[in-house]
Structure 1
Amino acid sequence: MNKFDNENGQEKINEKKQIIKNIINLKKEKNAIILAHNYQPREIQEIADFIGDSLELCIIAEKTDADIIVFCGVDFMAETAKILNPAKKVLLPEIMDTECPMAHQLPPEIIIEAKKENPDAKVVIYVNTLASAKALADATCTSANADKVVNLFDEKTILFGPDNNLAYFVEKRSDKTIIPIPKGGHCYVHKMYTLEDVKKVKAEYPNSELLIHPESSPEVQDVADHIMSTGGMVKHVLNSPVDTFIIGTECDMISRLNIELEKVGKSKKLVPLRADAICNPMKHITLEKIETCLINEKYEVNLDEEIIKKAKVAIDKMLSLNK
């Protein structure tokens, strides 16, 4: 590395430090908070006020007294924050390419048609859906509480979407008949995982525990040591006596786990089940975009009032489990 490269590298470090300083000042000036999902890059997680999974961030969004919520995640997450805080300004630092592909697999018309075919069924949909879909649900859920939400209802038949693998996970843990909607609904990241992946990494780390997200395929769930949400993974890794974990979810979950381990002075071996398990829409938010977002107060999330009202009923049903 020559002198020019050293100087250029230091300049970039100084620029990054200045951007972070500006973000901190803007947050204070505007009474704003930054929420970041576990799949955000580490540098975004490090400047967030709160990091979490979908359920944890829903709870925080509902309780915040901030005037502005900057959501570092994908589109449905920012919409959920707006539903829970209709009077607050909710900002998504980037609107291009931050759509969750799975959320868009369940448009309202599919739910409407399924309800016609199953009029006695309750509708439970993953929080990973758009607000227009949530407005048609009896309850929302996350991967952390899906089985508990389904069991809130007396009805034996549940329309559940959009993730078919999470539907499999739920049906195994309830006495309900789960009808997945749409057929084939999935997360493209978790669908990557195969039994061959498990065999390969387990052979390299035979004394490890395999932690699998319930959006993964049934055959991969069935060989996991633990199936859990990302929030569940944080608690388990921090408290388990095991030293090595294979992480079967989006790669930046390892960033979150390392941050939490560093806070308590622990060090553990964290191995991705696949190094290419990357949610591309999560990576389009940058420090520069957060700074610009706070300066210009855009891109603001706006939703129809009637959709907010109906969707909030479904979300509140889920959140009642935590009250």
Structure 2
Amino acid sequence: MDKELLTQEVLRLKAERQAVILAHSYQLPEVQEVADFVGDSLGLAREAERTPAKVIVFAGVHFMAETAAILNPDKTVLLPDLEAGCSLADSLRPEDVLAWKAAHPEGIVVAYVNTRAEVKALADVCVTSANAVEVVARLPQDRPILFVPDMFLGAHVARVTGRRLHLFPGECHVHAGIREEHLKALLETHPGAEFLIHPECGCGSGCLYLKPDAKMLSTEGMVRYARRAEAREFVVATEVGILHRLAKEAPGKTFVPVKPDAVCEYMKRITLEKVYLSLKEMRYAVGVPEEVAGRARRALEAMVAVG
């Protein structure tokens, strides 16, 4: 089936199933085009919570579908490919959090949304890259804080808030691969461009040293900034799937990836054909046991309420 016919069938089945398609900004362009909403983890979580649709097709990775299932226990949440995982989420085990909590009984656990449901259930609050700074800044000053699992995002939050955080040494393999040398090369070839850098990137503070006026932004922050900025050219340090959305929402502007091969193979497992099959066959349903979901829901609802 060609792309045009697949698109028509997806839209037909979506109406027939009374479904909504939520897609992350790193998804393939053709998947983004059939989605009802395209956004970052925070925006997608909010849309999942408020949608009246009976079926949610989640074009993203497994922890995102889990999040939607936790927030919508009475709805069917479908993930078109169960192998669409996350190297960052897989870097942290519940046992790691439990060990820290045992050593710090008064501690607060802040879990990045890129975590498994079992970890969210142990957290006091969940955050996304869009609201992590705001959430951490509000936490009590006299209690130790564990930030899991992304050490680069955690270091960014600590730098901006001035808070001392215990950081788990986890990383996204795609963002960790974006290094200072990649940024430096683009500084020379695009001297007039604005630089947009995701806080998960491995270059971290080194990027800000090389380019002090670079903007550390979540994926949604990049889109908002690009829309309103007067600049016409932007160098973008994150997974390259966002380039489609940036070009669509900020037409007439140029977006250059810091690392053209910064591709998440897990995100790209979701194809238009798999979205079609997911709707046609109602596959694959993602659920979370209520004893886990109930505890994780508190941390997620606190995340959705901020920012």
User: If the length of structure 1 is used for normalisation, what is the TM-score?
Assistant: 0.91
Deviation of 1:220 (Å): 2.3
SS at 1:150 equivalent: helix
Residue 172 of structure 1 and its aligned partner are, at CA, apart by 1.1
Residues 58-107 of structure 1 show CA distances to partners (whole Å, capped at 9, x for unaligned) of 110110000000000110000000011010000000112x1101001111
Query: Quick one: distance in 2 between partners of 1:221 and 1:62?
Result: 36
1:273 matched residue in structure 2: 258
Q: In the aligned structure 1, how far is the partner of 2:209 from the partner of 2:131? A: 19
Cα distance in 1 for residues equivalent to 2:175 and 2:162 = 26
Equivalent in 129, 133, 152 of residue 143 of structure 1: 129
Q: Do the aligned residues in 2 keep the contact of 1:156 with 1:177 (CA within 8 Å)?
A: no
Match of 1:42 among 24, 29, 37: 29
Could you say which residue in structure 2 is the equivalent of 1:7?
Answer: none
Q: Match for residue 131 of structure 1?
A: 117
**Given the two structures, how large is their TM-score scaled by the length of structure 2?**
0.96
For structure 2, the residue ranges without an aligned partner over 5 or more in a row are none
State the match for 1:231 in structure 2: 220
Match of 1:161 among 148, 151, 155: 148
What do you get for the CA RMSD once the two structures are aligned? Answer: 1.2
Task: Give the 3 Å change call, closer, same or farther, for CA 221–157 of structure 1 in structure 2.
Answer: farther
Structure 1 contact 208–243 (Cα < 8 Å) conserved:
yes
| Amino-acid identity (%) | 41
Task: Flag as ranges the 4+ runs of structure 1 deviating above 4 A.
Answer: none
**Residues 196-205 or 126-135, more deviating:** 196-205
State the partner residue of 2:97. Answer: 111
Q: What CA distance in whole angstroms lies between the structure 2 residues aligned with 1:220 and 1:160?
A: 22
Alignment: residue pair count: 302
CA distance in 2, matches of 1:44, 1:259: 14
1:4 corresponds in structure 2 to: none
* CA apart distance, 1:297: 0.5
Larger Rg: 1
| Equivalent pair of 2:247/2:254 in contact (CA under 8 Å) | no
What whole-Å deviation, never above 9, does each CA across 1:17-68 have from its counterpart, x for those lacking one? 1111111111111110000000001111111100000011011011000000
Q: Report deviation, 1:175.
A: 3.8
| Counterpart residue type for residue 243 of structure 1 | R
Alignment-derived partner of residue 166 in structure 2? 179
Could you tell me which residue of structure 2 aligns to residue 254 of structure 1?
A: 243
Q: Does 1:101 align with 2:90?
A: no
Which letter maps to 1:247?
A: V
1:178-257 equivalence runs, <5 A = 178-181=165-168, 184-217=169-202, 218=204, 219-224=206-211, 225-257=214-246
Map of 2:108 onto structure 1:
122
What is the aligned partner in structure 2 of residue 308 from structure 1? Answer: 293
Task: Name the CA distance, whole Å, in 1 between partners of 2:303 and 2:184.
Answer: 36
Structure with the greater relative contact order (CA < 8 A, sep ≥ 6): 1 or 2?
Answer: 2
Provide the secondary structure at the position in 2 that maps to 1:102: helix
